[in-house]
Amino acid sequence: MKLHPNHPFTRKATRIATAMLISISVQAQNNLVYVPGEGFRFHLNNGAYQFDFGGMIQPEISYLGIDGQDPQYFFANRRTYLRLQGEAGPQKLTFFVQANLNEPEILLDAWIAYKPIEGLEFKAGQMLSVGNNREMLWMEDYLSFIDRSALSQQLSRSGREFGLAVSYGRPIAGVHWTLHAMLSSGDGRNSFGADSRDVDLGGLKYAGRLDVLPLGLFTKGNERQMADLAGEQDLKLLLGFAGSINNGASDRVGEDHGGVVLYGFNGQLEYANFRKVYADVLMKYRGFALMGEYGIATAAGLEGLYSDPFGESPLQPEEISEHYNLGRAWNAHASYTHRGAWGIDVRLSDVQPEFERTGSLQVPVNSLQLGLTRYFSGQQIKVHLAAGSEEINGVQQTVANLFCQLRF
């Protein structure tokens, strides 16, 4: 039914809506502000409750040249993020929701956290997994390059998991320790599929991380990005150790839904256990930053697995590499930021498969990237130019991109 603008119901609804807007405007006076890079901030009850609404866009021009092929040029908006976050001080609750409008499945993060005491936090929902390498703990708008390193791309996807997490941190004898633990569905983002028939596959995923800061805490938030935009006046050091076990992983990196097809003796779908272990270090001092990461991905629980539903082709040990990304990888990233305005980055990554055999999903990858960044307002507004070379399974390619980031 379509109502005419002069219909009595329409006029009454318009008056009510107008009155509500006026009331909200009066009550919100001096409480609604715009914070650059964080979006619109709305306070209630003298700051006891806070809501932020903002986002981020990353328009990009890129070049890709592959040996033996015509070069390719791209112009697109790499990411379009919208986010809503809030805090209820009296209840000690926070929440965060973030979506990428460039993807078919737009939901990235959606969690709620409870902090009963200082240093202790419980979290539930879809969030970045604590069991990944350091770079995978950073949000995309805090990366130095437009893409994550080869290590991150080959052993992870978005880094998000659906589950429960707990963390506890405290100083002991001048050294700050933080322990993280997480229990997730094991199927990554949106893990329960498109509808009720597309159920969660495999078992649960157990992840943990230990972070040690022997020289004290970083400037607030400076440990969540590569660039030393805070210009740490004293040397800061962060040592991290992380790992995860996905019992029955249905994805090649244990972070998605239904990409692996293996069977048990009864012809039902069965999966191997996918394991990842990481060690990383992050150092910052007066604009200089250095990060090193090392990761190993392996599979276990291969007994009783078959390549066919009839139980006629038992899975041989090295054949598991045809179903999961297995291997070792390292990433080294050096950065210098001059007075928080100009940044130079160099990143070198290498990934090697566990088994060198035809059909292995994990192939050798070697990558070198150089970047120059102009920060106009920290991570809020920046322009980045990068170029590099990457060799993937013996095929050389040259990449270059120019992108602008605007957080609003």
Q: What is the pLDDT of residues 381-399, one digit of tens each?
A: 999 999 999 999 999 999 9
The pLDDT of residue 1 is above 50: no
Q: Which pLDDT score is estimated for 39?
A: 85
Q: Which pLDDT score is estimated for 11?
A: 55
Question: Which among 137, 305, 120 is positioned nearest to 207, based on CA atoms?
Answer: 137
Q: Which pLDDT score is estimated for 2?
A: 40
Per-residue pLDDT averaged across 174-186, rounded? 97
User: Would you say 315 and 307 are in contact if contact means Cβ atoms under 8 Å apart?
Assistant: yes
User: Would you say 178 and 169 are in contact if contact means Cβ atoms under 8 Å apart?
Assistant: yes
Per-residue pLDDT averaged across 213-232, rounded? 97
Question: Which among 81, 92, 306, 110 is positioned nearest to 189, based on CA atoms?
Answer: 110
- Torsion (CA) 34, 38, 39, 40 in degrees, nearest 10: -50
Q: Which pLDDT score is estimated for 12?
A: 52
Q: Which pLDDT score is estimated for 257?
A: 85
The pLDDT of residue 22 is above 60: no
Q: 174: how many CB neighbours lie within 10 A of its CB? A: 9
Q: 15 falls in which pLDDT band (50, 70, 90)? A: low
* Domain topology for 32-407: Porin (2.40.160)
Q: 286 falls in which pLDDT band (50, 70, 90)? A: very high
The pLDDT of residue 17 is above 60: no
Domain borders along the chain are: 32-407
pLDDT, mean over the chain: 91
User: Would you say 280 and 291 are in contact if contact means Cβ atoms under 8 Å apart?
Assistant: yes
User: Would you say 41 and 50 are in contact if contact means Cβ atoms under 8 Å apart?
Assistant: yes
The pLDDT of residue 251 is above 50: yes
* Choice among 9-13, 144-148, 345-349 with the minimum mean pLDDT: 9-13
Q: 234 falls in which pLDDT band (50, 70, 90)? A: very high
Q: Which of 199 and 100 is assigned the larger pLDDT?
A: 100
CA distances from 204 to 15, 187, 244, 301 (A): 53, 8, 11, 14
Q: 197 falls in which pLDDT band (50, 70, 90)? A: low
Q: 258 falls in which pLDDT band (50, 70, 90)? A: confident
Per-residue pLDDT averaged across 361-376, rounded? 97
* 3-state secondary structure at position 11: helix
